[in-house]
Chain A
Amino acid sequence: MVEAVVFGVAAVIILGGAVGVVVNRNAVHAALSLVATLFGIAVLFVAQEANFLAAVQVIVYAGAIVVLFLFVIMLLGVDTSENLDTDPLVGQRPAAVVVSLLTAAGLIAVVVTSTVTGIPAASARWVRDGDDISQIGRLLFTDYLFAFEITSLLLVIAVVGAVLLARTKPGDQIDEDEDVPELHSDEVPVDDAAEEEEAKS
């Protein structure tokens, strides 16, 4: 009974937030709707006794990723409303609605008509004693050790890539014939060595 109520409330929050992300014209409002959805997912994680993942969900998603989104929105000043009334590709929007409805119907049909099969895990058995952190950690450093190492490599690549992408030189705007509004002072300082390299080549 308790879980049914929790599920109902969380489902309303999740779906409402998701619709808000798609429908909101303003990117900041969309990001705030995304926070609602992420919190709802975290609630459902707790309802399924995945407590560690619920905490990680709130910390990483709501705490880091959405903040990153909001930083980029505010940094670029693109918090202006997007024009949703015109449809640049004629007929694309109804087609997208039809495709997503078909996706939902197909997935739910699979869920309704099929049963969950599979052998209960031998080594990775989930013992529900409230200590899911040590179980996840043990599995992470035994069965999934290689994937874990690859993940660390991925994070290093992401950090290096982000630093490289952020160090762009101010260049000419492409499509100069178009009337593009100027951004206020976003000049990036260029160090002299790079400029000399540019002059030589």
Chain B
Amino acid sequence: MLLAAVSSGWYLSLAALLFSIGALGVMVRRNPLVMFMCVELMLNAVNLTFVTFARELDDVGGQVVVFFVLVVAAAEVVIGLGIIVSILRRRPLATADDVSLLRG
């Protein structure tokens, strides 16, 4: 049986590191697409935390929440990429700084 060989603390620490790397990417990068990918990293870190707590507490609710997070992430990516496409069509190579006015 695979269970309980690695304690939950390791999973949670890994999720914390992953979340921090994603946050660093959102703060450092200026390409809107890469910023989106870093948001996905942060969402995945949270998913890992939810599954770990679901195992720790023997509660399927954690897994159901991960399911919802997946759906919201998919919807967010669709809308976000649509906005990015419509911006970059008019301004190729635009960075996040160039669209700070939310206009155009």
Minimum CB distance partner of B44 in chain A: A41
Per-position 1/0 for A55-76, Cβ under 8 A of B: 0110011001100110011011
Number of cross-chain contacts by CB at 8 Å: 264
Please count how many residues in chain A sit with their CB below 8 Å of the partner chain's CB atoms: 96
Report if A80 contacts B (CB, 8 A). yes
Q: What's the Cα separation between A57 and B74 when bound, in Å?
A: 11
Given the known interface contacts A112-B9, A132-B60, A139-B60, the answer about A168 and B89 at a Cβ–Cβ threshold of 8 Å is yes
A68 and B77 within 8 A (CB): yes
B8 and A116 within 8 A (CB): yes
Partner of B29, one of A4, A22, A72: A22
Residue with the greatest number of chain A CB neighbours at <10 A, chosen from B5, B19, B21, B77: B21
Report if A147 contacts B (CB, 8 A). yes
Per-position 1/0 for B11-50, Cβ under 8 A of A: 1111011111111110111110110111011001001100
Chain B residues positioned under 8 Å from A53 (CB to CB): 47, 51, 63, 66-67
- B residues 67-101 near A (Cβ < 8 Å) are 67-68, 70-75, 77-79, 81-86, 88-93, 97
Q: What's the Cα separation between A50 and B62 when bound, in Å?
A: 10
Partner of A22, one of B2, B28, B44, B71: B28
Report if A140 contacts B (CB, 8 A). yes
Q: What's the Cα separation between A143 and B64 when bound, in Å?
A: 10
Q: What's the Cα separation between A136 and B62 when bound, in Å?
A: 10
Minimum CB distance partner of B101 in chain A: A174
Report if A161 contacts B (CB, 8 A). yes
Please give the distance in Å from B40's CB to the nearest CB on chain A.
7
B23 and A18 within 8 A (CB): no
Please give the distance in Å from B2's CB to the nearest CB on chain A.
5
B86 and A168 within 8 A (CB): yes
A143 and B85 within 8 A (CB): no
Given the known interface contacts A22-B29, A73-B33, A107-B16, the answer about A158 and B79 at a Cβ–Cβ threshold of 8 Å is yes
B-to-A contact residues, CB < 8 Å: 2-3, 5-6, 8-14, 16-25, 27-31, 33-34, 36-38, 40-41, 44, 47-48, 51-61, 63-64, 66-68, 70-75, 77-79, 81-86, 88-93, 97, 103-104
12 residue pairs from A and B, CB less than 8 Å apart: A4-B5, A21-B38, A41-B44, A53-B63, A56-B67, A56-B70, A61-B73, A65-B73, A93-B28, A100-B21, A100-B27, A180-B92
A-to-B contact residues, CB < 8 Å: 1-4, 6-7, 11, 14-15, 18-19, 21-22, 24, 27, 30-31, 34, 37-38, 41, 44-45, 47-50, 52-53, 56-57, 60-61, 64-65, 68-69, 72-73, 75-78, 80, 82, 88, 92-93, 96-97, 99-101, 103-104, 107-108, 111-112, 116, 118, 120-121, 124-126, 128, 132, 135-136, 139-140, 143-144, 147, 151, 154-155, 157-159, 161-162, 165-166, 168, 170-171, 173-175, 180-183, 186
